[in-house]
Amino acid sequence: DWPALVAEVLADPSRLTLVAQPIVDVAGAVVAGYELLSRFAGPRHLTPDLWFAAADRLGVGAELEAVVVARALEMRADLPDNCFLTVNVSPHLLVEPALRDLLLAAGDLSPLVLELTEHTAVTDLTPVVELRDVLHARGALVALDDAGSGYSGLQQLTSMRPHVVKLDRALVADVHLDEAKLALAEMLGELAGRLDAWLLAEGVETWDEMDAFVRLGVPLAQGYLLGRPTPGFASLDPAVAAR
């Protein structure tokens, strides 16, 4: 019963918790930032994309995302030095008042990174791009999430001009065994460099994959190999840092 569940969480936001997954600076072998991922306390586990899609269908998607963004802004106080903090936001919800007004009222937005990804064909990105420029002037960065999959493609790269390009997990899996994936990662790395953006390999699960990205000079990486999502800002596993 989605309407009831979503209404309950909006009435009691403490049922929404956030876990943080480290994003690693490959060259320095240090944590560069954390991605915040939502978890919902309830009778059974339901993945967050279902929650956010349901809230969106019910017309309160921006309100639910605003709960996450408000929490992220507060959590900056506990963030380790020199780290950024990313949150997942649907572009079409970013421009809705509940989310837009919160961000515009927050003052300095640094070091927040908005991970933008769309799961449907977007008709017009113009208002999103306009808001992106305003938010960037206040210190927020933009990441193109799931790059290379679905509606997160080259057109989004040119229109959103993201500061971070997150290479989709599907293109990361077994990258060392797949000439086409390697070529795509290399091409996106070059493209990102030309656009003054960082490429980030997400969903890295093995050292074989990691080594391929090290050879390609990919600056940022994230995945279960490097650290799982956990409550709070965990430091890097010494075994990972030492490798």
Q: Which of 103, 87, 86, 85 minimizes the C-alpha distance to 95?
A: 103
Of 5 and 115, CB closest to Na ion: 115
Residues that bind Na ion (CB under 5 A): 145-146, 166
Quote the least distance from Cβ 115 to Mn ion, whole Å: 4
Quote the least distance from Cβ 108 to Na ion, whole Å: 26
Per rule CB under 6 A, is residue 203 in the interface with ligand G? yes
Of 100 and 166, CB closest to Na ion: 166
Instruction: Give residues with Cβ within 8 angstroms of 203, minimum separation 6.
Output: 168, 169, 172, 173, 222, 223, 224
Per-residue DSSP letter, 203? S
If one counts every other C-beta atom within 10 angstroms of the C-beta of residue 64, the result is 24
Quote the least distance from Cβ 220 to ligand G, whole Å: 13
Per rule CB under 6 A, is residue 68 in the interface with ligand G? yes
Site for ligand G in 31-50 (CB under 6 A): 37-38, 47-49
Task: Give dist(CA 90, CA 131) in Å, integer.
Answer: 13
Site for Mn ion in 132-191 (CB under 5 A): 145
Site string for ligand G, 75-114 (x = CB under 6 A): -------------xxx------------------------
Of 47 and 235, CB closest to ligand G: 47
- By CB under 5 A, name the one of 88, 90, 156, 222 that touches Mn ion: 88
